[in-house]
Amino acid sequence: MADSTVTIAVLAPDLLGTYGDIGNALVLERRLAWRGLSARVLGVNPGTGVPETADIYLLGGGEDAQQTLATTELVRSTALGRAVDRGAVVFAVCAGFQILGHRYPAAGTERPGLGLLDVDSLRTKDPRAVGELLADPIAASVAGAELGPLTGFENHAARTRLGPAARPLAAVVSGVGNGFDNLEGAVQGRVVGTYLHGPALARNPALADLLLSWVVGELTLLTLDEVDQLRRERLIGQTGAQAMKGRSRTRAWRNWQTRWT
């Protein structure tokens, strides 16, 4: 990196901040600081212009009206697409995940997304997905990174189907996730979408480090008792779901191989 300071842009935090996903920026900044690396966090609300030169872009979750407003602003600007083309990292949660796809539902209408992920989100007759979500990362999608189980809280009505250019982030162990093929999230290049709230990167620090490594290269290992304790707490109560892991993962993997290979 020419500039040793990592720039983290939080897009539309006033609109896509319903579930505290701005915490993902704080996690990234802290994990860099603990390694002696500097970061600059920018809140980019509508009307301020999306910077094209950030290293990491974050989008959070929000309700339909806020999601639509955020999308209108992002579609108007081509800065995020140009940033992705030059290799910037994008991490998007829930409504932000849907915005990055080709289309998403909001207020009873199908709306165009940014097309940065080959996914389509749509409303189905299934009940709203609300509750804890546990998923096993799919190694082929995360370059073999050892992420461990991914945990978070999901709250979404839409379901998201992956196209051939996107790979699933994980296989669902318990919860709903994308709602198709027993899969959760999507990865396409350095663009990652997920339904995990929590914030996701606080609950899954290895995922945070994977995103950072795409920007700064190999990272030194961190041993933090508080972070490990948070992981343990969030995994408590999931032991029953863990018994389903082998069967769920096998089914998801077979479905994924059939569709994306």
Spatial CA neighbour of 70 closest among 113, 109, 102: 113
C-alpha distances in angstroms, 101 versus 23, 35, 98, 224?
23, 34, 5, 35
Position 31 scores a pLDDT of 96
Band of pLDDT at residue 238, cut at 50, 70 and 90: low
Q: Which CATH superfamily is domain 6-260 in?
A: Class I glutamine amidotransferase (GATase) domain (3.40.50.880)
Residue 137 has pLDDT above 90, yes or no: yes
- Starting at the edge strand found earlier in the chain, the sheet holding 150-156 runs 150-156, 129-137, 170-174, 183-184
Number of H helices, E strands in the chain: 9, 14
Position 237 scores a pLDDT of 58
| C-beta separation of 53 from 37 below 8 A | no
- What residues does each domain of the chain span? 6-260
Residue 250 has pLDDT above 90, yes or no: no
Residue 248 has pLDDT above 60, yes or no: no
What is the rounded average pLDDT of the residues 103-121?
94
DSSP3 helix / strand / coil % (the chain, rounded to 5): 35, 25, 40
> Is residue 102 flagged as an active site residue?
no
What is the rounded average pLDDT of the residues 236-254?
49
Position 3 scores a pLDDT of 59
Calculate ∠ Cα 47-49-54, nearest 5°. 145
Residue 234 has pLDDT above 80, yes or no: no
- Half-sphere exposure (Cβ direction) of 119: Cα atoms closer than 13 Å: 37
Candidate from 11-20, 35-44, 149-158, 234-243 with smallest mean pLDDT: 234-243
Position 48 scores a pLDDT of 86
What value does the CA radius of gyration of the chain take, rounded to a whole number of Å? 17
> Is residue 197 flagged as an active site residue?
yes
Band of pLDDT at residue 205, cut at 50, 70 and 90: very high
Condensed to tens digits (0 to 9), the pLDDT of residues 9-67 reads: 999 999 999 889 999 999 999 999 999 999 999 999 888 889 999 999 999 999 999 99
> How far is residue 74 CA from its own chain's centroid?
17
Catalytic, out of 111, 159, 197, 203? 197
Locate 64 and state its tokens. Answer: 């339909």
What is the rounded average pLDDT of the residues 224-243?
67
> Which residues fall within 8 angstroms of residue 174, CB to CB, at 6 or more apart?
132, 133, 134, 238, 241, 244
Catalytic, out of 15, 54, 84, 94? 94
Candidate from 90-94, 109-113, 231-235 with smallest mean pLDDT: 231-235
